[in-house]
Amino acid sequence: MNKLLSRLNHLVDPVWTEISRQTFARTPARILFTSTERGAGTTSIAAATAIGLARNLRVNVALVEANLQAPALAGYLGIQGEIGLSDVLDGRVDVDKAVRRLEAVGELRLHVLTGGSARLALPGELAAPAGLAALNKLGENCKFMIIDAPPLFDHPETRVLLREVDAAILVLRSGHARREEAQRAVRELQESGVRVIGTLLNRADEAIDRDQAA
C-alpha cells in the first residue's frame, strides 16, 4: 500500500483536499468514483483518496468496492478480500464480519468493504433494501464514504448508485479516454442530479513514456 500511495500522492492530494472543502447534507457524505472504461485506475485512485482523507483529516472513512464482477481492491491494499460486499448482499455474512481495517499500517480509521466473491451484479441490488442497509451500516461513525464503482457506460448498477450518492469524481485514462466519452459521462452524472466534484486524468506518466518511445 505504501507504493500505491507514493505513486498516486500527486494525483489524489488535490482530490481529497477538494472533497474536504465541500459541504454535504448528510454524514457520511457518499462520493462515487467511476470511469468511462475499464483500466482507468478507478480502484487505486479511490483507495488512495480514502486513505488520504483518513490519514490527513483524522476522520473515519468507509471505502466500499461496488465492482462485484472484477474486484481488485484487496490486492491493492494487501488485505484479505475473499469475503466482501457480494457475500453481504447474498446473506452469507453480516457487514461487521466483512469489514477490514488496515491495522498493519496503522490506518484504523479506514473501514474497508471489498467486492468479495466475484460474480455478476444483479440489476438494482445495490439500491435495494439489503444494499442500502449494508451501506448505512458500513457508514456508521464515518465522515466520508468512498465508493469504487465500475465504468459508467458498461454497468447499469453504477447508474442506479448515482441516486444514492452525494457527489461523483470521474477518472479518465490518459491516452485512451476520448473527449466525447468524457463529455457524455459528465452530462450523465450531472443529469442524474449528482454533484460532479471533478475529473481526474490518470496514468499520465504511462502516456508520456509511450510518446517518448514512439
Q: Which of 60-69, 122-131, 181-190, 198-207 has the lowest mean pLDDT?
A: 198-207
Residues 6 or more apart whose CB falls under 8 angstroms from that of 67 comprise 43, 115, 148, 149, 150, 155
Assess whether pLDDT exceeds 50 at residue 206: no
At residue 213, what is the residue type? A
User: C-alpha 15: how far from its chain's center?
Assistant: 12
Query: Is the separation of the CB atoms in 62 and 100 below 8 Å?
Result: no
* Total-model pTM: 0.89
Per-residue confidence (pLDDT) for residue 177, from 0 to 100: 66
CA atoms lying within 13 Å on the CB side of residue 93: 14
Residues 6 or more apart whose CB falls under 8 angstroms from that of 150 comprise 34, 66, 67, 69, 70, 121, 157, 158
**Between 127 and 169, where is the model more confident?**
169
Per-residue confidence (pLDDT) for residue 9, from 0 to 100: 75
CA separation for the pair 157, 160 (Å, rounded): 5
pLDDT in tens, 162-198: 989 999 999 988 776 678 888 888 888 988 899 999 8
Per-residue confidence (pLDDT) for residue 53, from 0 to 100: 93
Query: Is the separation of the CB atoms in 147 and 31 below 8 Å?
Result: yes
At 89, list the grid cell: 448482499
Q: Which of 47-61, 95-109, 136-150 has the lowest mean pLDDT?
A: 95-109
> What average pLDDT does the chain have?
85
Residues 6 or more apart whose CB falls under 8 angstroms from that of 63 comprise 46, 47, 50, 73, 110, 111, 112, 113, 145, 146, 148
pLDDT in tens, 131-166: 999 999 999 999 999 999 999 888 888 888 998 999
Assess whether pLDDT exceeds 60 at residue 128: yes
When pLDDT is cut at 50, 70 and 90, the band that residue 203 belongs to is: low
As a whole number, mean pLDDT of residues 88-115 equals 86
CA separation for the pair 80, 71 (Å, rounded): 12
**Domains, the chain, ranges and CATH?**
2-213 (3.40.50.300)
Per-residue confidence (pLDDT) for residue 36, from 0 to 100: 87
As a whole number, mean pLDDT of residues 97-117 equals 83
